[in-house]
Amino acid sequence: MMRWLRAIGTWLDARLGVRESLMPMLTHPIPRGSAGPMGWWYVFGSASMTMLAIQIITGILLALVYVPSADQAYKSLLYLNEQQYLGAFVRALHYYAGSGMVVLLLAHMTQVFLHGAFKYPRELTWVVGVFLLLCTMGMFFTGQVLRWDPDAYWGIGVGASMAGRVPIAGPTIVGLLLGGPNIGGDSLSRFFALHVFVIPGALLAFLGVHLWLILRKGISEPPVPGQLVDPKTYDATYHKEMHEGVPFLGEAFLKDALFSALAVIVVVAIAALLGPKGPSGPPDPTLSGANPRPEWPFLWLFALLSLSPPEAETFIILIFPILVIAALFLVPFVSNRGERAPSRRPIAVLLVIVTYTILGVLTYEGISSPWSPEMNAWSGSPVPENLVRGRSPLELQGAVVLQNKQCRNCHALEGSGGRRGPDLFGVGTRLTRDQIIDQISNGTPGGGNMPAYGKQVNPAEMTALAEFLVGLRPGGAPKALPASEYPGTEGSQATAER
Amino acid sequence: MSHSSPTGLPSTDVKPGRRTFLQRLMLWGTIAAGALATIALSIPLVGYLLGALFKREKDWVRLGPIDQFPPGETKLKTFTNPLSQPWDGMVAHTGCFVRYLGKDEQQQPQFLVFAVNCAHLGCPVSWFPQSGLFMCPCHGGVYYENGDRASGPPPQGLFKCVWQVVNGQLEIQAPHLPTLQDTLTHPAWTPAQPRKERS
């Protein structure tokens, strides 16, 4: 029996040449240091590849059931969630393994950046890696659209509105993106084709080049402070080091495999615990209350866009992403020699810290999105009881005006309500009656964040509203006074003398 | 027996002059044929992709008799957009805000019809009759009842639909997704005349 198997193996190998081609790849020598304890830094790339494998498998499984058609996609998603055996789990796994892939990709990229592994002769490996990052982000965006719920529908709308700002070519780009004059079945088919054929094809091609470059140029050795990279001497030094190298198929492979296995266990556990994401509702554009949110890898951009002044907006939409991507591509060409150890590259370390702090803060802002009005606050968040107790009838009428004129959609009272404008609790200590009326009537000067309510509020309503707001002072704090009446100013003396 | 050329391959026994001419002909012929093949292939394929841009047709949607719109009130009207595919399902449902302004000096009814899309990034705005404002849930764009920008990030007012009154019925031109350079009143390109008969 064994003899037969061996004979078949030999017959196949004589034709396929596995022993000649694949085995040397698996056993290619890597620097001794990369197999030691420092090797734990090298596990992120292979783990993100493991996540990619999960994505391919779960993606094919989902494609067996999902229907990429505008009128059926939502139904097939509900079927996957509720009726298909383990459908909910596979959907959840596809989402969380995708998220894991982004996280591990960022970890891998950060490690490569901090250890200066992108320097000579691995510049191109980094560049191809940036393409892999772009493909992964593209997969995330197109994947969200396939979830064909209001977030997906209006998400395409936001994307199209951004693309529509490109000078001259804008409308053409929008038309090509949507596949027609409106968001519909043509748009879904396009994003399906991108998500399932175009981007995965590009991603696998880039991954092939990435791996080929790793084999051609070798795994980088762990950085040693003071050991400089010099393109003139590096190849010879690395070649010499490889004489004492160890095969990849050994300790290094075991580390990769162990970490990948742990990553898979974590992702499977999260998917089983949290379940699938969405769809959040039927994709009916006439349903009110849509509040599209981008997926988490894009929240920072969403926040940046929302927090920037309108004049900078077109720049942030059109130019800024190009600058970021260009900067990533240029990393190995800005510095491809010299120190690799993070302890000798303070600017690189600082860049990483600053970048992650900015991304973290913006993502946090994106989650809480204080710039979005709360569309139901006017009818759903009543004025807190302690703010109306013991008030005069006129003031109570003012509280009703405050609710009815949708002020609460943007203004919170003691923390409940919209946060686009300031919390009005305590406004009576900041603004005088006249200032309050001016602010309500004319809005923010220069067309800022608050609309002018002058025509929307009649004089009686205004009087009541101002009365209520002047009384919003925590713990009986003193009223705001006009500057002329402030104690100790010339104006106040004049008043006193009079 | 033929002698070996420097490349190690046996040379073909033809006269040198004739050989280079044939080889050149072969080379340029291949380049020309290749170019022709590329053009023949890419024109239809690129054209197929660009076909997405030519799906706009001039079509009118009936919103209903004008007396169902009380003067000075803003109403959300929903309709199925004819600029859609038969397999679009509920996604073809479209909304617009209609405000009847009353009749002008020539006794012609005047309307304001707005697309639901915010001029900022296309999110759907909501109408609040109590305060007479449109508010956008995404970034807090606010518009007055006449569609003018009131506050927030929108660079302009709400997009206005093209409307007409035929036999006492309010109709609007089937809207595409409006963007800043491709509004409903000033589209980036004129829609084609309808191919299908309107019922």
Per-residue pLDDT reduced to its tens digit, A404-459:
999 999 999 998 899 888 999 989 999 999 999 999 999 888 767 899 898 889 99
Residues 392-411 of A with CB under 8 A from B: 404-406, 409-410
pLDDT bucket at B194, cuts 50 / 70 / 90: low
Residue A116 domain boundaries: 25-232+241-284+291-368
When scoring B54, B59, B138, B144 by the number of chain A Cβ atoms within 10 A, the one with the most, hence best to mutate, is: B138
B88 contact residues in A (CB cutoff 8 A)? 70-71, 184-185
Q: Which residue in this structure is represented by tokens 């003031």?
A: A395
Stretch A117-144: mean pLDDT: 96
Q: What long-range pairs does A446-453 form, CB within 8 A, spacing at least 24?
A: A447/B149, A447/B151, A448/B151, A449/A410, A449/A420, A449/A421, A449/B140, A449/B151, A449/B152, A450/A410, A450/A421, A450/B151, A451/B133, A451/B142, A451/B144, A451/B150, A451/B151, A451/B152, A452/B150, A452/B151, A453/A405, A453/B131
Separation in Å, CA A303 to CA A112, A152, A167, A359, B181: 28, 18, 24, 10, 25
Per-residue pLDDT reduced to its tens digit, A310-348:
788 889 889 999 999 999 999 999 989 999 999 999 999
| A411 shares a domain with A279 | no
Q: For B151, which of A162, A443, A456 is closest by C-beta distance?
A: A443
Last residue of a domain, one of A329, A349, A368: A368
Min Cα–Cα distance to chain A from B13, Å: 37
B138 contact residues in A (CB cutoff 8 A)? 158, 291-292, 372
Query: Does domain B57-173 fall into CATH 2.60.40.10?
Result: no
Min Cα–Cα distance to chain A from B40, Å: 22
| A346 shares a domain with A322 | yes
Structure tokens at A413: 């009272």
The answer to the question of residue A17 being in a domain is no
| A358 shares a domain with A429 | no
Q: How many domains does chain A have?
A: 2
Counted across chains A and B, CB pairs separated by less than 8 A come out at 187
Task: Check if A375 contacts B (Cβ < 8 Å).
Answer: yes
| A334 shares a domain with A426 | no
Cα dihedral sign for A450, A406, B125, A194? positive
The answer to the question of residue A6 being in a domain is no
Stretch A108-125: mean pLDDT: 96
* Terminal alpha carbon distance of chain A: 117
DSSP helix, strand, coil percent of chain A (3-state; round to 5) = 65, 0, 30
Task: Check if A429 contacts B (Cβ < 8 Å).
Answer: no
| A175 shares a domain with A44 | yes
Last residue of a domain, one of A316, A348, A368: A368
A414: left (phi over 0), alpha (psi -120 to 50) or beta: left
pLDDT at A305 over 90: no
Task: Check if A162 contacts B (Cβ < 8 Å).
Answer: yes
Contact assignment for B180 to A373 by CB distance below 8 Å: no
Per-residue pLDDT reduced to its tens digit, B2-52:
454 455 555 555 566 677 889 999 999 999 999 999 999 999 999 999 998
Task: Check if A78 contacts B (Cβ < 8 Å).
Answer: no
Q: Which residue in this structure is represented by tokens 């990030």?
A: B153
pLDDT (0 to 100) of residue A468: 93
What is d(CA A163, CA A174) in angstroms, rounded to the nearest whole number? 6
What is d(CA A184, CA A181) in angstroms, rounded to the nearest whole number? 9
What is d(CA A252, CA A42) in angstroms, rounded to the nearest whole number? 8
Per-residue pLDDT reduced to its tens digit, A17-71:
888 888 888 888 899 888 889 999 999 999 999 999 999 999 999 999 999 999 9
| A101 shares a domain with A39 | yes
| A381 shares a domain with A363 | no
The answer to the question of residue A184 being in a domain is yes
A291 contact residues in B (CB cutoff 8 A)? 123, 137-138
What is d(CA B65, CA A183) in angstroms, rounded to the nearest whole number? 28
| A213 shares a domain with A306 | yes
pLDDT (0 to 100) of residue A267: 98
Q: For A157, which of B89, B117, B142 is closest by C-beta distance?
A: B117
Min Cα–Cα distance to chain B from A166, Å: 9
Last residue of a domain, one of A308, A340, A368: A368
The answer to the question of residue A341 being in a domain is yes
CATH of the domain at A457: 1.10.760.10
User: What is the total residue count of chain B?
Assistant: 199
| A364 shares a domain with A335 | yes
Q: Which residue in this structure is represented by tokens 């003691």?
A: A414
| A384 shares a domain with A346 | no
Q: What type of residue sits at position A347?
A: I
Min Cα–Cα distance to chain B from A11, Å: 32
Q: What is the ipTM of this complex?
A: 0.87
Segment (H or E) for B50:
helix B16-50
What is the share, in percent, of chain A residues with pLDDT greater than 90? Answer: 70
Stretch B71-88: mean pLDDT: 93
pLDDT bucket at A369, cuts 50 / 70 / 90: confident
- Give, as one character, the DSSP assignment of residue B57: B
| A434 shares a domain with A352 | no
pLDDT (0 to 100) of residue A70: 95
| A165 shares a domain with A132 | yes
Stretch A115-132: mean pLDDT: 96
Per-residue pLDDT reduced to its tens digit, A209-246:
999 999 999 999 999 999 999 999 999 999 998 888 89
B155 contact residues in A (CB cutoff 8 A)? 310
B161 contact residues in A (CB cutoff 8 A)? none
